[in-house]
Amino acid sequence: MASIRVGLAQINPVVGDLDGNVDRILAVIASAEAQGCDLVALPELALTGYPPEDLLLRPSFVRDTRAALDRVVAATRRTVVVVGFPEAGGHDAHASTDHAENADGDGRGAIATLHNSAAVCAEGRLLGVYRKRALPNYSVFDEQRYFVAGAEPLALFRIAGVDVGVSICEDAWSPEGPIAALGRGGADLIVNINASPFNTGKASARQSVLAERAREADAAIAYVNQVGGQDELVFDGDSMVVDRAGSVVFRAPQFRAGLHVVDIEIPVEGDRPSLPIIEIPGAPAHRSPVEAATVAPRLSPEAEVWEALVLGTGDFVRKNGFTDVVIGLSGGIDSALVAAIATEALGSAHVHGVLMPSRYSSEHSISDAIALADNLGIEHRTIPIEPAHVALMEMLAPSYAGHSIGLAEENLQSRLRAVILMGLSNAFGWLLLNTGNKSESSVGYSTLYGDSAGGYAVIKDVSKLLVYRLCRQRNLSAGREIIPESVLIKPPSAELRPDQRDDQSLPPYDQLDPILALYVEGDRSAEEIIAAGHDPATVERIVRLVDLAEYKRRQSPPGPRVTAKGFGKDRRLPIVNRYRR
């Protein structure tokens, strides 16, 4: 039985922050050295952050990344480091036209070949490079826009007497991919570095896939994933070690950055590997035993989403140079949830609530908003919109004369609130957090340039029914009432006209959300949704509303993706579209 000490580095890189990412990586390497690691694995494209998107089309960015890699390589000592980076190469017969030299000088394709690669380095030397073979081009991924798949012969690295193969992210999702080939070639352990974004149900799917790959390869797999928020994506870590039988022997906590050190026991086999071996000599480390490997418990579905929203919000705010946020507090459940998430992500001193009552605001909406702010400990202020509402209605009266303008007056109130919030944002440098949920966004139940405004839409991918579950989860985990019970039980209302309720304009959410899940996330047709048992008239109406609202969603702020298909990078449909089925 051989033993190899592996460090799994769940770091939180920042896209484009090459110097900062190098510093994070060097700190991990130093810690891994101090803890006697034979090998430390960092995430996919750790040097650039993931996804770098069209930064990869800039030759200067790719060159600067290579210089950053050289700094990392030079800092390595005994511990073998596996780190992801974009690798520029020469002309390649497999290169797509996107990567060919471009005579028009538009900047595309200035690099003939670019690979999504993993560098293997130690003792100040680059010992080998693995190039990702499976390039995902679905959902939120578009790697074939930038990269060429690796096709070089595979090799193994002999580290501390263990034959180690290297692979990258999507390689693990292919049954006939490089992991199986590495296993057939004699790998004892396969390191898989990742930038795998979170969505509900992803953790279980990952574990199942890794278990299957380990059994197919007859080799242990050490899987490392990054942590953090990047625009619409949230990365949850969930790094793990799976033995050759497919059993999880270590799992790191989700949504928490850190270096996790694991001693992996490898059965000694008599057979020689058939793949080429790159020997990495090194004196045995003098080290103390590490704590026994632990398998972090799985979070509940609501707890997972909560953690993703908190991490995504905090990272978006801080990585973009903000410290504080401003939120319109209506006394409703959506703004209550956003305020609670922001408070956990940033601290109560950095969250500012604004009450903007109108002539239609109920007394309980004002008192509920104040109670929420007090429970969270956040600063709040009240700015009534009535004076501006009166003035604008007087200004518009000549143009409105003789016309029914009910909806226009309702929307005017929402836009006045956006003006106030943006006025505060501009004056004090506070980022405006949007409070719209996925159910409303799906059907266009929002006011363009009103309640759709904001710099970041915290619950953009959260259905209304899930909003309620998350609020109750927050109260339960806090052991006290954070979101007032009165907010949880009152009928949802925009309060833009007397006695208004959401269910006057939309079906009840327990009918609406299942239809939306099938149409938006499941890509089911109206006929298929009706065949599943939903009311035909309701389905036809909702499908029509979703399609018509595409132009609104294109103008909405980014927000964290937590489902298998969110609006934005994920679900992309044409605005001009007459297909209605």
Query: In the structure encoding, which two tokens stand for residue 67, read together?
Result: 């210089």
Q: What distance in Å separates the CA atoms of residue 80 and residue 564, rounded to the nearest whole number?
A: 35
Region of residue 36 (phi > 0: left; psi between -120 and 50: alpha; otherwise: beta): left
Question: Residue 183: in which H helix or E strand, if any?
Answer: helix 178-184
Query: In the structure encoding, which two tokens stand for residue 440, read together?
Result: 């409303």
Q: Is the peptide bond before 51 cis (omega within 30 degrees of 0)?
A: yes
Q: What distance in Å separates the CA atoms of residue 519 and residue 546, rounded to the nearest whole number?
A: 9
Query: In the structure encoding, which two tokens stand for residue 349, read together?
Result: 């001193």
Q: What distance in Å separates the CA atoms of residue 113 and residue 109, rounded to the nearest whole number?
A: 8
Taking CA atoms, 423 is separated from 5, 336, 387, 429, 454, in Å, by: 55, 21, 16, 10, 12
Q: Quickly count: other Cβ atoms within 10 Å of residue 240's Cβ.
A: 27
| 44 labelled catalytic | yes
Beta bridge partners of 381: 354
Is the alpha carbon torsion for 139, 144, 150, 151 positive or negative?
positive
Pairing outcome for strands 80-89 and 113-122 = antiparallel
Q: Is 290 helix (H, G, I), strand (E, B) or coil?
A: coil
Q: What distance in Å separates the CA atoms of residue 281 and residue 42, rounded to the nearest whole number?
A: 21
Q: What distance in Å separates the CA atoms of residue 374 and residue 485, rounded to the nearest whole number?
A: 14
Q: Say which of 121, 132, 344, 495 is annotated catalytic.
A: 132
Question: Residue 373: in which H helix or E strand, if any?
Answer: helix 363-376
Rounded to 5 degrees, φ, ψ at 155 are -145, 165
DSSP characters for 69-105?
HHHHHHH--SSEEEEEEEEEES--TT--GGGS--TT-
Task: Show the 3-state SS of 294-335.
Answer: CECCCCCHHHHHHHHHHHHHHHHHHHCCCCCEEEECCCCHHH
Q: Say which of 33, 37, 44, 438 is annotated catalytic.
A: 44
Locus of tokens 């793949």:
275
Q: Is 454 helix (H, G, I), strand (E, B) or coil?
A: coil
Query: In the structure encoding, which two tokens stand for residue 392, read together?
Result: 């604008």
Closest CA to 186 of 276, 290, 313, 126: 276
Q: Say which of 33, 121, 143, 169 is annotated catalytic.
A: 169
Residues carrying an active site annotation = 44, 132, 169
